[in-house]
Amino acid sequence: MTGTPSAQYSIVLRVEIDHKPGALGAVASAIGGAGGVIGDVALVSVAGDTLVRDITVSAGSQAVWEAIQQAINESPTAKVVAVTDRTFQVHEGGKLETTPKQPLKTRDDLAMAYTPGVARVCEAIADDVALSHELTIRKNTVAVVTDGTAVLGLGDIGPEASMPVMEGKAVLFKEFAGVDAFPIALATKDPDEIISIVKALAPTFGGINLEDISAPRCFEIEDRLKAELDIPVFHDDQHGTAIVTLAALINACKITGKRLEDLRVLVTGLGAAGIAVTKILLSAGVKDVIGADSRGLVSTQRPDYVDGTMNSVKRWYAEMSNPEGLTGHPGDHLGGRDLFVGLSGARIFPAEKLAAMNDDAMVFAMANPNPEVSPEEAAPYARIIATGRSDYPNQINNVLAFPGIFRGALDARATQITEGMKIAAANAIANLVAEEDLREDHIIPSVFDRDVAPAVAAAVAEEALATTRG
């Protein structure tokens, strides 16, 4: 499905090559033979009989990267002298900086932007706090808040290690929707403490995007912050994912001719994303869903349900689904299912298990960075395949939702992101793929489609204003 190795292992090899015919060709063959794809080739220096070149290579994996180095070093006419990991280079010193919006060149500039003029603005806000949404960065700034407990599918890797993802989210906010976002990684996992810190930070921000906070704590944290703050609070892994999944499913059903009401669905991963996706599917008309966590299918027959140790969200799941009381590994319950939704972890069952699904099967394997089942292996068994990654077609990723959602909410000065706004966003995303353009490998717009965030923002703002008026 994807011919070029992923850029996640993009490297620059600095190679000393003998200055004689065929030597560069031998290096190119060594790279190709080991599985690398060559990008740029640049001459760095010439010293005597040796040329130094920088060769950019997509390696696809650490193993390929190592094999390429070994293959070049085995050639009698070339030697690798340095390797730069381009992905690490992108993260050097972080991915964001603060840039002033106003010039600060003259005494007057200073007197207005800072003291003494700034005091008049402070007093105006003190008299009317709502003005903070006009006269401070609050107008356009969102906090991306995590505790580092469910970072992608990497799990609880801690707040420091979560920052590259949070910085990435902030970059996406700005790039796609012009929203300034600030990453905040908290050194606490205690819900009460997280809630109190976020509440204390709220005067700085126009919205709070919660990110990669594990279930079930994320549900209470979001609910309480929504109730206690008058700015929008949105847990991206829940609702961003749910919105984009629904959009993709609406379009996938147009292709397969299946109706939401008739779908038989299996969800793996009953955390933030899996629970929210299930809820939006049910509210869109889906009736038959079963779900599994790392202990297998949830049901009222499971020992942790019976002994009362199952958490309340999974208890709800067990009661509303799976009337037959099925138990065991989800890979053994794909039979007769139309849609598989993976929001759990990498490679949880062999692809052949998908053969048991109904005709025109839809497989949304969305764990990041590696999906539940590889698209190449799933291809023989499914009509429609989607993942959360950018290097396969049909990227179902919450980046299609959160920038536009907050753009719309900030523009409308919404105080909440309601169910209606979420459904409006899902429809806006689905409608961006015109019916005549729908194909098995094109059920959802590209994350690079610059029309997505404005369309989502417009739909969200319109719904927010209609609710306020109505």
Ligand X SMILES: O=C(O)C[C@H](O)C(=O)O
Ligand Y SMILES: NC(=O)c1ccc[n+]([C@@H]2O[C@H](COP(=O)([O-])OP(=O)(O)OC[C@H]3O[C@@H](n4cnc5c(N)ncnc54)[C@H](O)[C@@H]3O)[C@@H](O)[C@H]2O)c1
**From the list 348, 405, 429, 457, which residue makes contact with ligand Y (rule: CB under 6 A)?**
348
| Among 104, 368, 133, residue whose Cα is nearest residue 236 | 368
Cβ–Cβ < 8 Å for 425, 241: no
Handedness of CA 145, 148, 151, 153 (dihedral sign): negative
Q: Is 37 in the site for ligand X (CB under 6 A)?
A: no
Give me the torsion for CA of 34, 36, 39, 43, rounded to 10°: -30
Burial of residue 230 (number of CB atoms within 10 Å: 0-12, 13-18, 19+): exposed
Q: Is 386 in the site for ligand Y (CB under 6 A)?
A: no
Binders of ligand Y: how many residues, by CB under 6 A?
A: 28
Spatial separation of the C-alpha atoms in residues 197 and 315, rounded to whole Å: 30
Nearer of residues 299 and 397 to ligand X, judged by Cβ: 397
Spatial separation of the C-alpha atoms in residues 112 and 116, rounded to whole Å: 7
Residue with tokens 């007093």: 123
35 binds, among Mg ion, ligand Y, ligand X, none (CB under 5 to 8 A by kind): none
Nearer of residues 35 and 404 to ligand Y, judged by Cβ: 404
Burial of residue 95 (number of CB atoms within 10 Å: 0-12, 13-18, 19+): middle
Residues 349-388 vs ligand X: string with x where CB under 6 A? -------------------x-------------------x
Nearer of residues 218 and 334 to ligand X, judged by Cβ: 218
**From the list 50, 77, 214, 301, which residue makes contact with ligand Y (rule: CB under 6 A)?**
214
Q: Which two tokens stand for residue 428?
A: 């806006």
| Among 66, 59, 72, residue whose Cα is nearest residue 26 | 72
**From the list 68, 150, 290, 430, which residue makes contact with ligand Y (rule: CB under 6 A)?**
150
**From the list 1, 41, 152, 458, which residue makes contact with ligand Y (rule: CB under 6 A)?**
152
Spatial separation of the C-alpha atoms in residues 213 and 218, rounded to whole Å: 6
**From the list 16, 147, 180, 293, which residue makes contact with ligand Y (rule: CB under 6 A)?**
293
Catalytic residue among 9, 20, 105, 114: 114
* Amino acid making up residue 382: A
**From the list 7, 152, 157, 282, which residue makes contact with ligand X (rule: CB under 6 A)?**
152
Whether residue 169 lies in the annotated active site: yes
Q: What is the DSSP letter of 352?
A: G
**From the list 146, 209, 321, 368, which residue makes contact with ligand Y (rule: CB under 6 A)?**
368
Q: Is 393 in the site for ligand Y (CB under 6 A)?
A: no
Nearer of residues 180 and 237 to Mg ion, judged by Cβ: 237
Q: Is 212 in the site for Mg ion (CB under 5 A)?
A: yes
**Which residues between 387 and 426 bind ligand X (CB under 6 A)?**
388, 397-398
Q: Is 147 in the site for Mg ion (CB under 5 A)?
A: no
Q: Is 212 in the site for ligand X (CB under 6 A)?
A: yes
Q: How far is the CB of 442 from ligand Y (least distance, A)?
A: 17
Residues 6+ apart with CB under 8 A from 71: 30, 31, 33, 34
Spatial separation of the C-alpha atoms in residues 383 and 360, rounded to whole Å: 5
Q: How far is the CB of 411 from Mg ion (least distance, A)?
A: 24
Catalytic residue among 9, 169, 305, 317: 169
Q: How far is the CB of 53 from ligand X (least distance, A)?
A: 35
Cβ–Cβ < 8 Å for 143, 234: no
- Helices 452-469 & 159-177, crossing angle to 10 degrees? 90
Instruction: Give me the active site residues, please.
Output: 114, 169
**Interface ranges with ligand X (CB under 6 A):** 152, 165, 212, 236-237, 368, 388, 397-398
Instruction: List contacts with ligand Y (CB under 6 A).
Output: 150, 152-153, 214-215, 237, 241, 268-274, 292-294, 343-345, 348, 366-368, 388, 396-398
Residues that bind Mg ion (CB under 5 A): 212, 237
